[in-house]
Amino acid sequence: MERYANLFISFSLLFFFLNYSLFVCKSMASSLQLNHDQLNIMANLSNSLSPNSYNNWNTSDPNPCLWDRVICSAGPSTVVTGLSLSNLSIPTAANVGDFFSILCRLDTLQNLDFSQNYIAMIPDSFFSNCTGLSGLKSLDLSSNELTGPVRNFSSFASLETLDLSYNSLQGTVETQLSSSSKLKSLNLGSNLLMGTIPTFVTDGRRVAAFEELVLSNNQFTGTIPSEIFEHENLTVLDLSTNSLSGTIPEKIGMLSNLNALDLSSNQLTGRVPATLSNITALFQFAATRNNLTGNIPSITKFLSSLDLSYNNLGGEIPSDLLASPNLEYVDLSSNRLGGAIPTNLSIGLQWLLLSENLLSGIIPTSIGKLSQLAYLELDNNNLYSEIPSQLGNCSNLEFLDLSSNALYSELPKEIGNLQKLEVLALQTNNLSGEIPVEMNELQSLHRLNLSSNSFTGEILPTISNLRQLFYIHLQHNKFYGSVPDSINVLVYLNELYLGGNYFNGSIPSSLGGLQYLEILDLSYNNFSGNVPDSLSNILSLTELVLSYNNLSGVFPPFSSSVNVVTVGNKNLIILNGSAESNSPGNDVFVTTDSSKRKIQVALVVVSSFVAGFSVSFLMSSLT
Ligand SMILES: *[C@@H]1O[C@H](CO)[C@@H](O)[C@H](O)[C@H]1NC(C)=O
Ligand SMILES: *[C@@H]1O[C@H](CO)[C@@H](O)[C@H](O)[C@H]1NC(C)=O
């Protein structure tokens, strides 16, 4: 997501300027008049798309320069230079054949945006024999329903920008674009193209000098051809999500103007070339989801974004890799990186994702200097460390996952400073001590997972401050005391897992007010007293796990959509109408003899019902 943020910003700017120039055009155009020829062509174009006025053109206005989405020049002679017909739901059925052949007469056209419509067919003659559009500089047909091969583009000798992405184009790309020698930007992404990566170099000569080449999300195979590095003006090269194999050539370092390089989701092997560090312009490099091996070279000197996650990279993280001052986004998750986390960290880091590696040692206290840090994921490593109190200085932190390590400290009270924290995942460590009261200041907290640690103490009534809480996972710790009534203030609560602790007291009937609660697990505690009737008011409830407590009294009826587990409560009386999905055979019913018989009959009925229910539940969860 972040990877594309910069790209997105440049698109937004482009969009802004486009709108701005449209505005300027419109305000000046009132005084401008098209010549007779152009008026005639525009009238025909408009007719070709009727009777449905997809383009929203107000043809009763005699000046087409004032029509929506028509861009005119403001020079000495007024002409139409652009048509911006994006996102109008124009289907193939709307005479597009006529439209494109009339368009060929509009020989002043420089920019045509026909993206985001439903066009499946454009006549071949438009691409190969539309001499009138030899001045067209930019053609955008992206996000339509075009099929078949990439056509021969001999009509458009001046074309600089061509976007055919998000269609269903098939076949190989060979000489179809060889007449477009001015092409600088080509986007063929998200089609069904196959064969080897087109290089646009024949007999050692470049067909065009590309600046942007996007071939992502197709079915290209073979290796990354070294001819591609002849396009030394390339600023964007995106070959991601294909089936490319072989290594990343060292020669890639020759692309000295490269800003963004994406090789993700291929089957590339070998090492990350150290020559990437020569490219002073490179700010974004991604090669996630390949089979890259070896050590990571120090390539971040100029980078702001590095994604090498889901590879087999090994060795230690170079001590300067995370230190480059431009660095904002680093994802090295799911590799085989060992050693310690480098202590030299760039203060600009916003995302630091090192999950699922073999990292050992401590969480460096220098992390406290990262005032921009929003995402920190160090989970599933072998970190043997305290949680540094300095983490409380990362006041922009939104997501903190330190789970599945060997962390052993208490939770520092400074955690309470993280006012933007939405996710706190500390499960499966050896953390201990009481939860600091300051925790109840985490106003944005959405997900709290402290499960499988050795935390102790009580749940404080002030937990009700954490209004955004959606998941509370406190299972398998040493918490005790009663569950505060005020928990019902957490209106969004969806899952409450308190199993495997020493909680006691009665189940607060206020829990029945939690209208979004789906899972309530209070198993393996010392809860006593009745199961409050109010719980059956929770319409969203799907799982109620009360097993192995000291609950007593008559178990209230629950809808059959609730999976109920009550085993291991000696004094709990189950009447029919309450679904019990665990075999209740172990339960001992302490009742009078006559009611006992009634209950046992009911139990048989319930058991057979439940057996059927469990099977169908199992089936539905398998499908
Ligand atoms: C269409 O153009 C005519 C003539 O300029 C104008 O009177 C009318 O208000 C326009 N209609 C719309 C819906 O803009
Ligand atoms: C919390 O941690 C447990 C492991 O102890 C895991 O099974 C569960 O999916 C986690 N829940 C959330 C919401 O992260």
Q: Residue 58 CA: which ligand 1 atom is closest? A: 1
User: Which tops the pLDDT comparison, 24 or 139?
Assistant: 139
d(CA 282, CA 300): 9
Write the residue with the smallest CA distance to atom 3 of ligand 1: 61
Domain chopping of the chain, boundaries:
593-622
Give the mean model confidence (pLDDT) for residues 141-164.
Answer: 94
Checking if the pLDDT of 183 tops 50, the result is: yes
Give the pLDDT score at 348: 96
| Dist. CA 108 → ligand 1 center (Å) | 26
| Dist. CA 431 → ligand 2 center (Å) | 16
**Other C-beta atoms lying within 10 Å of the C-beta of residue 588:** 9
Give per-residue pLDDT as tens, 59-112.
Answer: 788 889 988 899 999 877 899 999 999 988 887 766 677 889 999 999 999 999
Look at 144-148, 280-284, 359-363, 610-614 and tell me which has the smallest mean pLDDT.
Answer: 610-614
Pocket test for ligand 1, best of 55, 61, 67 (most atoms within 8 A of CB): 61
CA distances from 533 to 105, 486, 512, 545, 552 (A): 78, 18, 8, 15, 13
d(CA 3, CA 419): 25
**Other C-beta atoms lying within 10 Å of the C-beta of residue 3:** 20
**Other C-beta atoms lying within 10 Å of the C-beta of residue 285:** 25
- Under the banding of pLDDT at 50, 70 and 90, the label for residue 135 is very high
Give the pLDDT score at 95: 67
Give per-residue pLDDT as tens, 293-348.
Answer: 999 999 999 999 999 999 999 999 999 999 999 999 999 999 999 999 999 999 99
Give the mean model confidence (pLDDT) for residues 559-586.
Answer: 74
Pocket test for ligand 2, best of 405, 426, 473 (most atoms within 8 A of CB): 473
- Under the banding of pLDDT at 50, 70 and 90, the label for residue 351 is very high
- pTM (2 decimals)? 0.85
Give the pLDDT score at 364: 97
Give the pLDDT score at 334: 98
Give the mean model confidence (pLDDT) for residues 532-561.
Answer: 95
- Under the banding of pLDDT at 50, 70 and 90, the label for residue 204 is confident
d(CA 130, CA 119): 18
Give the pLDDT score at 205: 82
Percent of the chain with pLDDT over 70: 86
Give the pLDDT score at 15: 39
Peptide bond connecting 51 to the previous residue in cis, omega within 30 degrees of 0: yes
Checking if the pLDDT of 22 tops 50, the result is: no
Coil vs helix vs strand at 441: helix
User: Which tops the pLDDT comparison, 20 or 54?
Assistant: 54
Checking if the pLDDT of 596 tops 80, the result is: no
Checking if the pLDDT of 239 tops 50, the result is: yes
Give the pLDDT score at 580: 52
**Other C-beta atoms lying within 10 Å of the C-beta of residue 8:** 12
Give the pLDDT score at 53: 60
User: Which tops the pLDDT comparison, 206 or 498?
Assistant: 498
Give the pLDDT score at 619: 37
Q: Per-residue b/e over 221-240, b at no fewer than 16 CB within 10 Å?
A: eeebbebbbbbeebbbbbbb
Checking if the pLDDT of 32 tops 90, the result is: no
CA distances from 45 to 49, 84, 140, 438, 515 (A): 7, 13, 18, 67, 57
d(CA 376, CA 521): 29
Checking if the pLDDT of 120 tops 50, the result is: yes
Checking if the pLDDT of 618 tops 80, the result is: no
Give the pLDDT score at 52: 60
Give the pLDDT score at 206: 85
Checking if the pLDDT of 603 tops 60, the result is: no
Write the residue with the smallest CA distance to atom 7 of ligand 1: 61
Checking if the pLDDT of 409 tops 50, the result is: yes
Checking if the pLDDT of 381 tops 70, the result is: yes
Checking if the pLDDT of 408 tops 90, the result is: yes
Give per-residue pLDDT as tens, 208-235.
Answer: 889 999 999 999 999 999 999 999 999 9
User: Which tops the pLDDT comparison, 462 or 520?
Assistant: 520
Q: Residue 452 CA: which ligand 2 atom is closest? A: 5
Give the mean model confidence (pLDDT) for residues 143-159.
Answer: 93
Give the pLDDT score at 380: 98
Checking if the pLDDT of 544 tops 90, the result is: yes
- The residue among 378, 365, 420, 424 whose CA lies nearest residue 397 is 420
Checking if the pLDDT of 593 tops 90, the result is: no
Give per-residue pLDDT as tens, 492-501.
Answer: 999 999 999 9
- Under the banding of pLDDT at 50, 70 and 90, the label for residue 481 is very high
Give the mean model confidence (pLDDT) for residues 130-150.
Answer: 95
Give the pLDDT score at 51: 59
**Other C-beta atoms lying within 10 Å of the C-beta of residue 275:** 17
User: Within 13 A of 310's CA, how many CA atoms are on the CB side?
Assistant: 11
- The residue among 455, 538, 543 whose CA lies nearest residue 500 is 455
Write the Ramachandran bin of 116: left for phi over 0, alpha for psi from -120 to 50, otherwise beta: left
Look at 97-106, 134-143, 368-377 and tell me which has the smallest mean pLDDT.
Answer: 97-106
Q: Residue 63 CA: which ligand 1 atom is closest? A: 5
Pocket test for ligand 2, best of 407, 449, 470, 492 (most atoms within 8 A of CB): 449
Q: Residue 428 CA: which ligand 2 atom is closest? A: 5
- Both tokens of residue 407? 């962390």
Q: Which ligand is nearest to the CA of 470?
A: 2
Give the mean model confidence (pLDDT) for residues 165-190.
Answer: 93
Percent of the chain with pLDDT over 90: 72
Contacts of 76 (CB under 8 A, 6+ apart): none
- Under the banding of pLDDT at 50, 70 and 90, the label for residue 526 is very high
